[in-house]
Structure 1
Amino acid sequence: MTGPTALAPASADLIARLAADPASSFALIVREGGDAVEVLSGALSDVELLGDIPLQDADGTPREVLALVPYRQVRERGFAAHDDGAPLRCLLVDTHVAVPLDEAVAALPSETIPLADAGFDLADAEYADIVRRVIADEIGQGEGANFVIRRDYVAGVDADPRMAALTWFRALLEHERGAYWTFAVVTPGHVAVGASPEAHVSARDGVVTMNPISGTFRHPAGGATVETLAEFLSSTKETEELFMVVDEELKMMSAVCSDGGRITGPHLKEMSRLTHTEYVLRGRSRLDPRDILRETMFAPTVTGSPMQNACAVIQRHERTPRGYYSGVAALFTPNAEGGHDLDAPILIRTAYLEDGRLRVPVGATLVRHSDPYGEVSETHGKAAGVLGAIGAIPRAITIVPDDDEPAPARRLADDEGVATLLASRNARLAPFWMQEQAGAPDARPFAGRRAVVVDAEDRFTTMLAHQLRHLGLDVEIVHWSDASPAVVDAAELIVSGPGPGDPRDEASPRIARMREVVHARLAGHRPLLAVCLSHQILSDRIGVSLAPLASPHQGLQLTVDLFGEDASIGFYNTFTSRVTPGVTQLTPSETRCGGVGAVEIAADPATGDVYALRGAGFASVQGHLESILSRDGMRTLERLVAHALA
C-alpha cells in the first residue's frame, strides 16, 4: 500500500529537532520502494481496546493515528497471552511530512552503538529442546498444524535511546533490503526500530490485502545463488509451511471479506541475509479498519494455527511475555470517503530498547517435519538481519564483480528456472481460491436451503461457510458453546466443524458439546455433515475405532477415492478413525448407534484409515475441503452436502 498522495516537504533538521526533545513522540517510516522518510509526530494516547483507537478529533474530524499494537491484545478475541501490560500506544499525528531519503540518511548518526553482555536469552540446546517438546506434545497430540516459538537476543545499551534509534534506523536503511516498512517509533521510555518484511493487513478503497510470508532460505556464505535457492524451493517442509499459513490467513480473510479472498503468487521476498516465499491475498470489505485489525489478530506466520490454540501453546512454552513482538504497527490514514485506510506491517525483525536493554525477538515456525537444530539456525538467521545491519555482528558480505566483468544487479526471482519452480506450486492448489469470487456463481445447487456451521475453535469454519454460501446455502456460524439443543434441532443442515485436540478427551467441554451436536443429529435423523474432528466423533459414535496416526497429517495433501471418485484433499489431522483394510460398509447390525442404517466407508485400502463416511441423512470427511490444498474441495463438498440433504 502506498502512502498519502501528497506530503508536505521538510528538511532533515526536523528529525534532529524531534530527537533532541526528550518529551517528543515521533515515528520515521520508509515504505517499500519509497524515496522519502515519512516523519510523523504528535501527542501520545494509550488505550485499552482496538475500538478505543481515537480516529476522530473531539469535533468528529478524522485524524491520522499510528498505533503500536502489542501481542497481549489477542485477549480481545478471548485468546490466551502472558500479560505484561504493554500498552496499546497511539501516536495522534498532527504533523506528517516527507524528507528526501538521501538527505535524511546523510543527516542521521552513523556511529555503531556498543552493546554489552550480548546473546540469546535461551541457549541453542535449550531452544532445540523446546522445539522437540512442541512437536511431540502439541503437534503430535493434535493441538495444531504449526506453532511459532520465540527466543530473544538481548544486550545492554549505554547510549541515549533517541540517538540509538536514529543510528539503527539509518543502519537498517543502508544495510537491509526488501523490507515492507523500515521504521523507528520513539516515545518517552520506549524505542522500536525495525525492517519488517511482512505486511500483515492493509485496507484501501474497500480492498483488504494480506501478505503471508513463510519458508526461510538462509543465504549461504558468499551469497545466494539460483542453485542453492532451487534446493530450498524444492523442500516439502518449506512448501507446506507456506501453504499452512496461507490457509490460516484465508480463514481471516473469509471472516472480514464478503468475497472470501483470492490468492496470487507465490513470490520471493529477497532480503540481505534471507529469502522468503510469500503469497498475496485480496478481498473486499466494508468493515471499520479497527474491526478488520481485530479479526485478523495476529498473523499465523508469527503465532501458528489454528490461531486460538496457537496462543495457548505459546503461553505454555514461552516463559516471558512477547511485548510488541508479533503485534503490528497500524497506521490509520483518513481517506476521501470520510473513513480511514489501514496499513499494518507485522512487528518482526525489530529491535526494542527500554531501560537500557536491547531486545530482538525472533521465532521459527515449527511443523511436523521440523529439525530442532534447523529451527535454531533459522532464529540465528532472522536475528542476523537486524543485528548485522546495526553492527552488532559482522554484516553480510556483498560480492563486487571485477570492473572488467560488470554484472547487472539481478533478483533471483527473475531467473526463469526459479520462476518455474515457484509457479509449479500452484498446480497443487484449489482453483476456487485463485479465482475471482465476487458475484453469484452460475450454479447454486442449494439455493434457498439453510445451514448452521458449528465452530469447534478452528476458523476453517469461515472458509467452509464461504464455500457453502457459494453453493447457494444461507449460512450461520455458531460457536460450540452456543450450539444449544434448540439451535441444533432447528437447523435444516448442521455442519459440525473441525477443531484441535483428541476426540477421545472426555474432560474437554468443547469436545463433549461437539459429541452432543453429532449425536443429536444422528438420533433425530436430521441432515448432518461432519468435518475432521467431528468426523472422528461421528466415527466413534457409530462404532468405528479411533487411533493416533504414527505421523501427523498436518498440512498433507492426498489423492483418495471418495465413494468411487478420486479427490485431491488437504488433511490436518493427528487422529484417525480406522477399519479393517478392505471394509467398505457397515451393516445396520454392525453399528453402535441404533437406527442409522447402513454406512458406506471410504478408507485407505492398505491401512484402513477412514477418509469419509455416509449414510441416510449424514456424511463426514476427514480432510478439509475448504483448504487451499483441496484441489477437488468444492466438487467434493457439493457431493457430500447433496447426500446429507437427500
Structure 2
Amino acid sequence: MTGPDPSSLLLDLADGTAPFALIARDGATVEVLTGDVVDVDLLADIPLVDAAGTAREVLALVPYRQVRERGFVCHDDGAPLRCLVIDERVAVPRAEAMASLPSSPVPLAGAGFDIADEEYAGIVRRVIAEEIGRGEGANFVIRRDFVAGVDVDPRIAALTWFRALLEHEKGAYWTFAVVTDGHIAVGASPEAHVSAKDGIVTMNPISGTFRHPAGGATADTLAEFLRSTKETEELFMVVDEELKMMSAVCSDGGRITGPHLKEMSRLTHTEYMLRGRSDLDPRDILRETMFAPTVTGSPMQNACTVIARHETAPRGYYSGVAALFTPNGATEGPTHDLDAPILIRTAYLVDGRLRVPVGATLVRHSDPYGEVGETHGKAAGVLGAIGAIPRDSTPAAPVPAAPADADPDAPVAPRRPLGEDPAIAELLASRNDRLAPFWMNPQDPDGSGPFAGRTALVVDAEDRFTTMLAHQLRHLGLDTRIVHWSEVTDAEIDAADLVVSGPGPGDPRDDSPRMSAMRRVVSRRLHSRSPLLAVCLSHQILADQLGIDLAPLAQPHQGLQKSVDLFGEDASIGFYNTFTARVAPGTTERGLRVGGVRANGEASGAESPLPLAVDPETLTLDLPAEVAADPETGDVYAMRGREFASVQGHLESILSRDGMRTLERLISHAL
C-alpha cells in the first residue's frame, strides 16, 4: 500500500528512536518497514507467527556466527540474530524518497584499511601455500575492513548513505538500511544468496570480479577478463559449492541457467542462477545454505576453520544475510516466502565507528597483489557512493565524438549493456560447453534408474559434494542415505548394497579421527568383499590400503577439468585434489596387482570374504586392482577390482561433463 507524505515519513524516521528498515529492490519504490526488534538464538526461533498463530512478516539480520548451528567454528563476537517484526509497511516512490532523504556528505576521520596492503598480500600467500597447497580446500575468502570514525547522528548517517547508494551504485539486488538500537547496516548487495517462493528455491552464485578500467568498461576489456582461466574456474567452483546446498534442500537437486553478467558502477561480475523445488520451512532452507561460498570458500565446513585461522577478528554480520520472511497465505506447506541477499558491500556503524568489510576469493591461481586490488575494487563501490573516496565520474564506456552537423540538443542513446554485445554473449555461452549436461537439464529422480531396488550408503567426510553424489545415485535408481563419518556404524556399513566412501579435505596420511574413520569404512567393505565406490579422499585412502604410494601434487588440482582415459574410455572429469595416488609412470595402466590392506604392515593371501564378526583392522588382504593412471606422471585417476571401484575426480561436479556416464560404469563394476 502507499503511505503518508514521504518527506514527513522519512523526517519522522530521522528524528525518532524507533527501529526501521528501508529496502529498494524493484527499481521503482523504497519499502519502509517499521516494527519491534526481537533478538533470538537460533534460526528456528525467528518469530514467524505471533501468540495467536497469525503469520508475521520478519526481517532478520543473520550474523556469520550463526554457522555454529551447523557445527562449524568461528570467532564468536555474540552478534545477535536480530529480527525486526514488521507492524507496518509503506511503499514510497523511489524519486520521492530520493528527494526527501538527506544528502549532505558525512565526514569521516582516520579512514583506511585495518590491514595494510602488503600484510594482506602476505595472508594471500600463506593461504595458498598452507591451506590450498595442503588439501584443505579449493578456495577461501579472507576479509579486511575499511574503517573510519563518524561524528554524525547515526540515523542521519544511515539515511544519507542509503540515498547515496541509491543514486550512485547501480546493479544492486537490494539497496537497504537497517537501523536498530546500537547497530546500523547500510548496503548495496549485488547477490541474492537464497530465495524461496511458491515452492521454488533460487540461489545466485556470483564470482569473478572485473574492475572497470579508467574510462569505463568496454567489450574488448571485458572479453579479456572473460577469457581468464582463474576467473572462469572461480565461478565454476562456487557454482559447485552452491549446488551442494541446493541438492540438500531441493528434491530435484537444482538446475543451472546462465551465465550472465552483473554490471555495477565500478565492477562487473559473472553469475549463474540455480533453481529447484522444495517444501522445507524457509528457516530450514536458510540453515542448510549457511553461508555462500562466494564469501566463505569450499568445502564450507573447512572454509570456516581456515577463516578462523587467518582472520583475527570476528566477522559480525559480514557474509551473513538479511532475510525477509513474508507471509504468502498458504494453508499447506511453507507459510512464508524468503528473500535473502548476502550482507556484502555493506557499511556498518556501531559506537561512532564505520566498518566496510570486503574479501577476495583465493584460489590456486591467485596473484597476491591482484587480490589486494580486488578488495579495493569491492570496497570502492560503497565507499565512493557514500563519499569516503572520490566518486568515479568517468562514463561507463568511451563516448565517440558527435558528427559536426549533429544536433547538440538531441537526446543521447543510453549505452547498451555489455552482456548484449554479440561477442560477449558468445564468450559467456561458450563456458557451458565445458559443463555437465546433467545439472543443466530438468532432473527430478523417479527411482527407475539401472540400479533400482538397491540401497546406497554415502559416508560424508566433511565435503557436501556428497549431497550432489546422493542426488545422482537416486537418479540411477539407488535408495540413498547420507551419514556423517562420526555417526556411521559398522552395521550400516555392512547392510548397504553399495557404500560410497566420500570426498573430504585434508591429508589422507593423517591420523585424525576423521581419517581413521574413513579408513575403517574402506577397510571393512574390502574385507567383506562388499561393493564399494571410493571418491577423491577415499580413493586415496583405498590406494594407500592397496599399497600404492601417496604424494602431494606439485600444483593442486582444485577446480581443474581434465580429459583422462578411464579403462579405455575418455572422460572429461573435474578434479579437486591436492594429493594423489601414484604408480611408476609407464609400468602399467591396467592389470596391476598390488599388496593388500595395510593394517599390520604385512600382506596376506586371503581370498575368501571376511566374516562380519571379525575386525577388519586386525587383518590384511591381497587384492588385484586395475589402475587407470597418467602415462607420464603415474597419477592414478581410477581403480577397480573385485567388488570395488574408485575415482580421484568428482563425477558429481559441474566440471565433470562425463560424470554420470562414468559413475554408472564404476557402480556397475562394483556391484
TM superposition shift of 1:484: 1.8
Q: Is the Cα–Cα contact under 8 Å of residues 178 and 186 in structure 2 kept in the other structure?
A: yes
- 2:347 corresponds, among 346, 351, 357, to 351
Q: Could you tell me which residue of structure 2 aligns to residue 398 of structure 1?
A: 394
CA distance in 1: counterparts of 2:223 and 2:593, whole angstroms: 54
TM superposition shift of 1:317: 0.2
TM-score, normalised via structure 2 length: 0.93
TM superposition shift of 1:439: 5.0
- 2:457 corresponds, among 417, 428, 452, to 452
CA distance in 2: counterparts of 1:238 and 1:140, whole angstroms: 19
RMSD: 1.2
CA distance in 2: counterparts of 1:520 and 1:117, whole angstroms: 62
State yes or no: 1:528 paired with 2:523: no
CA distance in 2: counterparts of 1:563 and 1:589, whole angstroms: 17
What letter matches 1:429 in structure 2? L
Q: Could you tell me which residue of structure 2 aligns to residue 167 of structure 1?
A: 160
State yes or no: 1:378 paired with 2:386: no
Q: Could you tell me which residue of structure 2 aligns to residue 509 of structure 1?
A: 513
Match of 1:362, SS? strand
CA distance in 1: counterparts of 2:370 and 2:137, whole angstroms: 20
CA distance in 2: counterparts of 1:502 and 1:302, whole angstroms: 24
What letter matches 2:46 in structure 1? I
- 2:62 corresponds, among 60, 69, 72, to 69
Q: Is the Cα–Cα contact under 8 Å of residues 171 and 264 in structure 2 kept in the other structure?
A: yes
- 1:15 corresponds, among 10, 17, 26, to 10
Match of 1:352, SS? strand
Deviations 1:51-97 (A, max 9, x none): 00000011000000000000000000000010001000000000011
Q: Could you tell me which residue of structure 2 aligns to residue 542 of structure 1?
A: 546
Q: Could you tell me which residue of structure 1 aligns to residue 473 of structure 2?
A: 468
What letter matches 1:466 in structure 2? H
Q: Is the Cα–Cα contact under 8 Å of residues 10 and 98 in structure 1 kept in the other structure?
A: no
Q: Is the Cα–Cα contact under 8 Å of residues 137 and 298 in structure 2 kept in the other structure?
A: yes
Match of 1:167, SS? helix
State yes or no: 1:572 paired with 2:576: yes
Q: Is the Cα–Cα contact under 8 Å of residues 140 and 363 in structure 2 kept in the other structure?
A: yes
Q: Could you tell me which residue of structure 1 aligns to residue 638 of structure 2?
A: 612
Q: Is the Cα–Cα contact under 8 Å of residues 215 and 239 in structure 1 kept in the other structure?
A: yes
The 10-residue stretch of structure 1 (513-522 or 395-404) with the greater mean CA deviation from structure 2: 395-404
Residues 1:589 and 1:84: Cα distance change in structure 2 (over 3 Å): closer
Count of paired positions: 635
Q: Is the Cα–Cα contact under 8 Å of residues 222 and 397 in structure 1 kept in the other structure?
A: no
Q: Is the Cα–Cα contact under 8 Å of residues 70 and 325 in structure 1 kept in the other structure?
A: yes
The 10-residue stretch of structure 1 (577-586 or 72-81) with the greater mean CA deviation from structure 2: 577-586
Deviations 1:208-236 (A, max 9, x none): 00000000000001100111000000000
Q: Could you tell me which residue of structure 2 aligns to residue 643 of structure 1?
A: 669
Q: Could you tell me which residue of structure 2 aligns to residue 3 of structure 1?
A: none
State yes or no: 1:363 paired with 2:359: yes
TM superposition shift of 1:188: 1.2
CA distance in 2: counterparts of 1:170 and 1:584, whole angstroms: 65
- 2:19 corresponds, among 20, 25, 41, to 25
Pairing 1:473-512 to 2, within 5 Å after superposition: 473-506=478-511, 508-512=512-516
CA distance in 2: counterparts of 1:498 and 1:106, whole angstroms: 55
What letter matches 1:455 in structure 2? D
CA distance in 1: counterparts of 2:163 and 2:528, whole angstroms: 68
Q: Could you tell me which residue of structure 1 aligns to residue 434 of structure 2?
A: 428
Q: Is the Cα–Cα contact under 8 Å of residues 547 and 594 in structure 2 kept in the other structure?
A: no
Q: Could you tell me which residue of structure 2 aligns to residue 116 of structure 1?
A: 109
Match of 2:632, SS? coil
- 2:558 corresponds, among 545, 554, 575, to 554
CA distance in 2: counterparts of 1:454 and 1:477, whole angstroms: 6
TM superposition shift of 1:184: 0.3
TM superposition shift of 1:9: 3.6
Q: Could you tell me which residue of structure 2 aligns to residue 320 of structure 1?
A: 313
Deviations 1:163-211 (A, max 9, x none): 0000000000100000000000001111100000000000000000000
CA distance in 1: counterparts of 2:38 and 2:594, whole angstroms: 68
Match of 1:311, SS? helix
What letter matches 2:483 in structure 1? V
Unaligned runs of 5+ in 2: 599-603, 608-621
Q: Could you tell me which residue of structure 2 aligns to residue 600 of structure 1?
A: 626
Q: Is the Cα–Cα contact under 8 Å of residues 587 and 597 in structure 1 kept in the other structure?
A: no
What letter matches 1:349 in structure 2? R
What letter matches 2:437 in structure 1? P
CA distance in 2: counterparts of 1:325 and 1:396, whole angstroms: 25
What letter matches 2:265 in structure 1? S
What letter matches 2:535 in structure 1? V
Q: Could you tell me which residue of structure 1 aligns to residue 234 of structure 2?
A: 241
Q: Is the Cα–Cα contact under 8 Å of residues 328 and 347 in structure 1 kept in the other structure?
A: yes
CA distance in 1: counterparts of 2:314 and 2:592, whole angstroms: 54
TM-score, normalised via structure 1 length: 0.97
CA distance in 2: counterparts of 1:634 and 1:599, whole angstroms: 23
- 1:148 corresponds, among 141, 148, 153, to 141
Q: Could you tell me which residue of structure 1 aligns to residue 423 of structure 2?
A: 417
CA distance in 1: counterparts of 2:91 and 2:475, whole angstroms: 45
What letter matches 2:553 in structure 1? L
Q: Is the Cα–Cα contact under 8 Å of residues 61 and 83 in structure 2 kept in the other structure?
A: yes
Deviations 1:99-128 (A, max 9, x none): 011000001000000000000000000000
TM superposition shift of 1:591: 4.2
Deviations 1:234-292 (A, max 9, x none): 00000000000000000000000000000000000000000000000000000000000
Q: Is the Cα–Cα contact under 8 Å of residues 45 and 91 in structure 1 kept in the other structure?
A: yes
Pairing 1:188-267 to 2, within 5 Å after superposition: 188-267=181-260
Match of 1:598, SS? strand
Match of 1:465, SS? helix
Match of 1:140, SS? helix
CA distance in 1: counterparts of 2:297 and 2:267, whole angstroms: 21
